[in-house]
Chain A
Amino acid sequence: MSTAIPIDTRRKTVTTAPAQSIEWLGIVALLAVMTAQVLGVLNSPPDRDMGHLQKIMYVHVPAAWNAFIAFFAVAIASLLYLWKGEERYDLVAASAAEVGTLFTGLTLALGSIWGRPTWGVWWTWDPRLTSTAVLFIVFVGYLALRSFVEDSDRRAQWSAAVGLLGALNVPIVYMSVKWWRTLHQMQSSPSTVDPEFVVGLRTNGVAILLVLIYFITKRYRAARMERAAEHLAERVALGGA
């Protein structure tokens, strides 16, 4: 009779864990970003066509990579929430979505700044640009949904479904826009750029990944603390210990 005490297996709530300081990660991330810039700027000559403008790529491309990593994390956490029903997965999804949206916004802004002198326009309807913009709006919608729903169980359940469908939509949007119009240059991945730029791109990729992890962890900790404060307030209201 081991199942005598079925205490809250479905909706496991977060508790205050003794939080270790993660400020060191922030410092490491900051140093990494600085090192990556130095490596990138010093090691690479001005690009044949773009000159020093090309340096924008060192942040633009890794930011895009990492935004995708963040949204992948949202999808995984949402799936885990729907499967296990544990509150912490909802908080991970929310944190990753916020940071991912921020990085997507950064990607779009940098791309636009880079596109103006390069292509002569702030915006073009090319597949990756357009699907990144759609991705941005999908997750702005996700965050809006979270802020419009009060009940925490309902919010978690709904945003998990919306997050999953949003992530599912990313390749579909990309494919359809690609069919619709293609005038972009080849993908900026290490295989199509000169070796001098590879060092800068790769170090920046790692550095910005560290920033991403630091941001998500920070945001997750804050969300946990908010939730723990709610639980505490609840216990006080109930007159418990």
Chain B
Amino acid sequence: MDFGRAQAKSLVNIAGVKSLPARAVEEARLYVSASLLRILQTCATNRVNNAPPPTVKLDRLSRRFGTRWALRAVTLEVQPGEIVGVIGHNGSGKSTLLRVISTALRPSVGDGWIYGHHLVREAVTVRRHIGFLAHAPGLYEDLTATENLIFAARMFGIAEDGIEGVLERVGLAHARAERVRGFSAGMQRRLALARLILGAPRVLLLDEPYNNFDPQGIELVNDVIQDVANAGGSALVVLHDQRQGERVLDRVIELNRGALVVNPADVQPLTFATPSGLPA
């Protein structure tokens, strides 16, 4: 496995480790080479076992804005049916992570796949699978609720007969002919959710989905997530507060300054010999 010093160094830089001695870089190189070998073995085993491929696979996904790294080498796999919470302080890169996976932003370094489709090279296919709920509802204020969904259906390339049902489901049937300009923040969120449901996504990317929702709204969001997971899809849910999504989350990952906070318990299963003297 060829993993050069330069790459090891640049990874160390991206990971944001304070000045490392050359010896440590060298050991990191050996360590990563060994990890790669293990990943290869896992791939081979998976192929034999016919395990379902991960819905989301990220490989050292990183994004920089000008001179600031908002996301550093995030490596992650999400399995079918899994619902993953993403927590972290303000500015820890949670929203950037979702936006890069949604293909709204290109990764600066690293790769990612949705159902095996590459985020950059197969962006249009990826967009068929994902449903992204951003902070801003992203609606057209001069169109009515129904018209917004008609536009979405045409852009998705699907039939328009599901619109009524979706409006019923998010509880906006009574306001279907009203312009979005007059909607409250909660109603706008519901309409954005309706658009997301309409696209029938298999991977949900939800950025603080519980904001502006009343308790019924929160139940609605949870139901939507649960439905996608039951159908074999996955969800990444950015949260302020872990308790909000307690009912549905399978596990929670934490971001700190753009990097995944690694839980020591997750590292243990590695079976190969770790080079000595590696900083813990």
- A residues with a Cβ closer than 8 A to B are 1-2, 4-8, 10-11, 150-152, 230-231, 233-235, 237-241
Contact = CB atoms under 8 A, between A and B. Distances in A.
B140 interface: no
B263 interface: no
Contact of A235 (B7, B11, B13, B20): B13
Contact of B9 (A231, A233, A237, A241): A241
A5 B67 contact: no
Given A239-B19, A240-B13, A241-B13, 11 more contacts: A2-B2, A4-B3, A5-B3, A5-B7, A7-B10, A8-B109, A10-B106, A230-B67, A238-B16, A239-B17, A241-B12
A10 B118 CA distance: 14
A11 B65 CA distance: 13
Nearest to B69: A238
B66 A240 contact: no
A1 B69 contact: no
**Chain A interface SS verdict (over half):** loop
Q: How large is the interface on B (under 10, 10 to 19, 20 to 34, 35 or more residues)?
A: 20 to 34
B108 A8 contact: yes
A152 B66 contact: yes
19 contacts: A2-B2, A4-B2, A6-B110, A8-B10, A10-B106, A152-B66, A230-B66, A230-B67, A233-B67, A234-B64, A235-B13, A237-B68, A238-B14, A239-B18, A239-B19, A240-B17, A240-B19, A241-B12, A241-B19
Nearest to A240: B13
B40 A151 contact: no
A239 B257 CA distance: 12
A4 B36 contact: yes
B13 A4 contact: no
A10 B13 contact: no
Contacts of B67: 230-231, 233-234, 237
B3 A150 contact: no
A223 to B, nearest CB: 16
A6 to B, nearest CB: 6
- Return the 3 tightest CB-CB contacts between A and B, nearest first: A240-B13, A234-B67, A239-B18
Contacts of A240: 12-14, 16-19
B111 interface: yes
Contacts of A1: 1, 40
B252 interface: no
Interface in B94-137: 106, 108-111, 120
Contacts of B36: 4
B17 to A, nearest CB: 7
Contacts of B20: 241
A231 to B, nearest CB: 7
A239 B259 CA distance: 14
A1 B43 CA distance: 12
Contacts of A237: 67-68
A235 B66 CA distance: 12
Contacts of B1: 1, 4
Interface in B60-109: 64-69, 106, 108-109
Given A4-B1, A239-B17, A234 B68 contact: yes
A233 B9 CA distance: 17
